[in-house]
Amino acid sequence: MNTLTFFRSLRNPVFARLYTAQTTSLLGDALTWVGLALLAFELAGKNAAVVLSVALTLRVTAFVLLSPLAGAIADRLDRKKIMVVTHIFRMLIVGMLPFVTQIWQVYVLIFALNVFNAFFTPTYQATIPLVTSENDYAGAIALSAATFQLLGVLGPGIAGSVAAFIGARQVFFLDALSFAIAAVLIFTLPGQLVVAQNQQPSRTTRRTWGDIKDGTTRLLTDAPIRYALGMQLVASIAGAQILVNTVGYVQGTLKLGEVQYGWVMAAFGIGATLCAVAVGTFNRSLPRTTFVLIGAILITLALLPANYANLAPLMLLWFVAGAGQSLVNLPTQTLIADRIPAGVQGRVYGAHFAWSHLWWAISYPLAGWLGSNFAEREFLYGSLIGFMLLVVQITLSPQEHEGERFFSGEMGLAIR
């Protein structure tokens, strides 16, 4: 494989349009969170951080509670309709944000917004291997992840510039427009994106609960996927430290400014983006679980000396940490496409989305507690906790290599 293989999936017109819709949505997400930060400051002043932390907790809560249900539904209904409906509702919800006057209204709207995010993301993830070939879906997953990371770096700057030009509240109208454009792109896809009719189960509440349970069961009983999911807990410990405590370290301990903070976080995002590109071009000379292990070690190791680093070394460490994050997350998603029969991938992606965000629901409060109580050693202690979990994971579940694989082309899926 060469680098061009990374973009080969875009030759597929269905995926290319889905990818364009996802990119448009991600730009909208950047507008949402920048606009929300400005709105929180307008409504809460010095307590804006509390508003944002509650909003982030509500976001993760929606993902944990509803993603398994979303995955089960994605195996039984037209995925195109699900993605269109979620975009329309997100458009309507962000269109209400300019009119809020109370903090509780922000909480209600943000939770509602992420209810539909919880339905969209697993459906989109499960659709990638549905519409791409066996040789292309790994690159397609990597391309989507790299775009997510790149816009995570560039998006806030773009959104901040837009907000400065048109106003903090008005930015939500542009956000709503991005969701509308994405909905149109998906709606105009030819045919349907469905599991073959002869594989669709009856639509009963009992059957839906069975599908949700089946998604988690398949996730936790497949040894390589379970191993990768455990490593995502290790990576989330370090990742939460970076997202929560970097600003305090850069602007508090190092006495630097917002610009330098932006450089450090950009290094993290660039490391993740470049690694996603690299993973998309690698062949299968190494098992995916090996990449997962390397990534968990890298991101945990990068934290170890961070409390003793000045600006330039910290940027290098965060670049390595970003690469480690991608090495954990990307192969985990691809393992599901490799090993789970395509007719039930939706429920497994939904279960994975919920469990992986449950790890962050644990890691965010831990990062906040370490940052509040050990302001000079938060990264060091976070790294040590991560290494302890890493040792436990390796001891209880030695690295599992992928065996027999399943491919979407063999499992009776229909694009009609």
Break the chain into its structural domains and give their ranges. 3-397+411-415
What is the model's pLDDT at position 168? 74
What is the model's pLDDT at position 410? 35
What does the alpha-carbon distance between residue 23 and residue 27 come to, in Å, rounded to a whole number?
6
Element holding 414 (H helix, E strand) = strand 413-415
What does the alpha-carbon distance between residue 102 and residue 105 come to, in Å, rounded to a whole number?
5
What does the alpha-carbon distance between residue 122 and residue 118 come to, in Å, rounded to a whole number?
7
Q: Which residues pair with 415 in a beta bridge?
A: 193
Can you list the residues of the chain whose pLDDT is less than 50?
1-3, 197-203, 403-416
Q: Do residues 299 and 235 touch, judged by C-beta distance below 8 A?
A: yes
Closest to 281 in 3D by CA, of 330, 321, 352: 330
Q: What is the DSSP string of 309-329?
A: --HHHHHHHHHHHHHHHHHHH
What is the model's pLDDT at position 192? 67
> Which DSSP category does 222 fall into?
S
Question: Reduced to 3 states, what is the DSSP secondary structure of residue 367?
Answer: helix
**What superfamily does domain 3-397+411-415 belong to in CATH?**
MFS general substrate transporter like domains (1.20.1250.20)
What does the alpha-carbon distance between residue 77 and residue 52 come to, in Å, rounded to a whole number?
34
Residues 6 or more apart whose CB falls under 8 angstroms from that of 2 comprise 281
What is the model's pLDDT at position 258? 66
What does the alpha-carbon distance between residue 178 and residue 155 come to, in Å, rounded to a whole number?
13
Amino acid (one-letter) located at 73? I
